[in-house]
Structure 1
Amino acid sequence: MELTAATILVAFAGVSLICFMKGAFGGGFSIVGIPLLSIVMDPVTAGGLLAPLFIAMDLFALRYWKPSTWSKPDLLLLLPGLLAGIGAGYLLFRFLDHRAIAILMAVVTLIFVALWFAGDGSVAIQPRSSPKAIGAGLASGITTMVAHSGGPPLAMYLLSRGLSKEIYAGTTSLFFTVGNATKAVPWLLLVGPTGNVWTLMAICLAAIPAGVWLGWRLHAKLDQRQMYRIVYALLIVSALKLLWDGVSGYLT
């Protein structure tokens, strides 16, 4: 990858957008910023660039999403599936077709959002469920490892729990802090970043504090229904991006 002014500006903007999402919603929508990075580098290089940066973003975001904002009983059920999913995602990344995984996850997400709209935008609150939580953690682990897109499976589970906006964001933040720390080494082994990528990482670190803070400020101004509407809108964007990645991969 050539380190040009355009590469630096676009990467900085993409990282800033991802940081903003982490501050506003606790994480899970990193895929929204990846298309920007894909303008100046291939998606796999973008994944290798982001993997260590996610850890720095998460640690900074935990300044705002403190333990009082974590749903610990849900996390206890979600995290084992997440870790298993990252291991499975590593194997899938090496040996299986990423495009099919992207298409499947996109279709499931779009069905979930369609059901929400069919219910007049109401959230059907469901009790905590071990099988559902483990399944959501597993699916999130696989997709976060394969495509940095673990948000939709987790959101589908947590939105159904009817958590307050603070607990939703805080639980999501810690979930992806664990996931991003776990997948960083496998991603670096798969990608093997060059010297220019490491230099770009160092430059993009400067985007993290302001991006997370601005997102957190937006979160504070949203009411509960606004928060949920935006999350569902982001699910649509994420799903359409996954669908495009999968389908276009078969066409090229």
Structure 2
Amino acid sequence: MIIPNLAPIAWTTLIIAALFVGIGKTALPGIVTLSVALFAAVLPARESTAALLILLIVGDIIAVRMYYQDVDWHALKKLVPSVTIGVVIGAVFLYFVSDGTMRRSIGIILLILTALTLLLMRRGSAETIRDVFAKRSIRSLYGSLGGFTTMAANSGGPVMNLYFIASGFDMRRFLGTQAWFFFIVNVIKVPFSASIGLMTGEIISTAAILIPVVLIGAYIGYLIVRRIDQKLFNIIIISLTIISALYLLFW
């Protein structure tokens, strides 16, 4: 194992980020964007996506086990093709553009998508909104953008959070479907990250050291989700999505 030579404050930052990964995967998905920010503050931006990807997969496995009875397989099956296309485009984008361009582009996408989603939710009834988001064109838009943003900056969560909320998913169905969604997507991302040289020995070692922290965060998330209702859950998810977009745009 190649132990990275990081200052104590850097390790503290990564530990907090890993804790957020566990919480995000089992209770508050939008908080994972804070992990993206913290990892990028300590490690080179591109390499940080690879280290975080390993921890995200660990969190996905826990969430899949925790919410295995709450998955909407029908919705997942329909999302896979467009998400896969988005991941491929995101990998190409990540290879050619600078870190700053990558972050700002995704920040703009998230803000526009959030505004459009909230506008639709305000103007239509819950049933009408569900019908709109059941359309193939809308599903393909959100799926491809989700795949693109998760490949380019591990920021696909906010896009899919908006899609699942607008589609009328209740809290457990949301968390269960998202758990499998991101487990599949993140596993697909591994060969892309490896092929562009991001999965180095030092990065893998860093992630391995932080895995126990993700497990602790997942348990904290389990305790949180037992204590919040659907309305508060939706408000938190949308608020974290907006924060995510602003962070990516102005950081």
Do Structure 1 and Structure 2 share a fold, with TM-score over 0.5? yes
Following superposition, the deviation at residue 139 of structure 1 comes to 0.5
Q: 1:124 to 1:213 in 2, by over 3 A?
A: farther
Query: Does the aligned pair in 2 maintain the 1:106–1:239 contact within 8 Å?
Result: yes
Which stretch shifts more, 95-104 or 126-135?
Answer: 95-104
In structure 2, the residue corresponding to 1:70 is in which secondary structure?
coil
Which amino acid in 2 is paired with 1:150?
Answer: G
Residue in structure 2 matched with residue 40 of structure 1 by the alignment: 42
Query: Does the aligned pair in 1 maintain the 2:20–2:214 contact within 8 Å?
Result: no
TM-score, normalised with respect to structure 1: 0.86
For 1:161 and 1:29, the matched residues in 2 are separated by 21
1:94-142 deviation line (CA, Å, top 9, x unaligned): 23452552243133144246537966xx896422222211221111000
In structure 1, the residue corresponding to 2:65 is in which secondary structure?
coil
Where does structure 1 lack aligned partners over 5 or more consecutive residues?
Answer: 246-252
For 1:172 and 1:29, the matched residues in 2 are separated by 14
Query: Does the aligned pair in 2 maintain the 1:58–1:173 contact within 8 Å?
Result: yes
Residue in structure 2 matched with residue 6 of structure 1 by the alignment: 9
For 2:81 and 2:188, the matched residues in 1 are separated by 12
Aligned residues: 243
For 2:127 and 2:25, the matched residues in 1 are separated by 23
Where does structure 2 lack aligned partners over 5 or more consecutive residues?
Answer: none
Following superposition, the deviation at residue 148 of structure 1 comes to 0.6
Which amino acid in 1 is paired with 2:223?
Answer: R
Residue in structure 2 matched with residue 237 of structure 1 by the alignment: 243
Q: 1:136 to 1:50 in 2, by over 3 A?
A: same
Residue in structure 1 matched with residue 83 of structure 2 by the alignment: 82
Query: Does the aligned pair in 2 maintain the 1:2–1:196 contact within 8 Å?
Result: no
Q: CA-atom RMSD, angstroms?
A: 2.5
In structure 2, the residue corresponding to 1:233 is in which secondary structure?
helix
Residue in structure 1 matched with residue 219 of structure 2 by the alignment: 213
Q: 1:124 to 1:15 in 2, by over 3 A?
A: farther
Query: Does the aligned pair in 2 maintain the 1:51–1:188 contact within 8 Å?
Result: no
In structure 2, the residue corresponding to 1:163 is in which secondary structure?
coil
For 1:75 and 1:195, the matched residues in 2 are separated by 33
Structure 1 residue 126 corresponds to structure 2 residue 130: yes
Query: Does the aligned pair in 2 maintain the 1:29–1:149 contact within 8 Å?
Result: no
Query: Does the aligned pair in 2 maintain the 1:3–1:200 contact within 8 Å?
Result: no
Residue in structure 2 matched with residue 115 of structure 1 by the alignment: 119
In structure 2, the residue corresponding to 1:221 is in which secondary structure?
coil
Percent identity, aligned pairs only, is: 23
For 2:92 and 2:150, the matched residues in 1 are separated by 13
For 2:64 and 2:114, the matched residues in 1 are separated by 30
Query: Does the aligned pair in 1 maintain the 2:19–2:213 contact within 8 Å?
Result: yes
Which amino acid in 1 is paired with 2:23?
Answer: F
Which stretch shifts more, 46-55 or 34-43?
Answer: 34-43
Structure 1 residue 102 corresponds to structure 2 residue 106: yes
Which amino acid in 1 is paired with 2:49?
Answer: G
Residue in structure 2 matched with residue 222 of structure 1 by the alignment: 228
Q: 1:242 to 1:106 in 2, by over 3 A?
A: farther
Which stretch shifts more, 184-193 or 132-141?
Answer: 184-193
TM-score, normalised with respect to structure 2: 0.86
In structure 1, the residue corresponding to 2:67 is in which secondary structure?
coil
In structure 1, the residue corresponding to 2:41 is in which secondary structure?
coil
Q: 1:38 to 1:95 in 2, by over 3 A?
A: closer
Following superposition, the deviation at residue 28 of structure 1 comes to 5.7
For 1:224 and 1:9, the matched residues in 2 are separated by 33
In structure 1, the residue corresponding to 2:231 is in which secondary structure?
helix
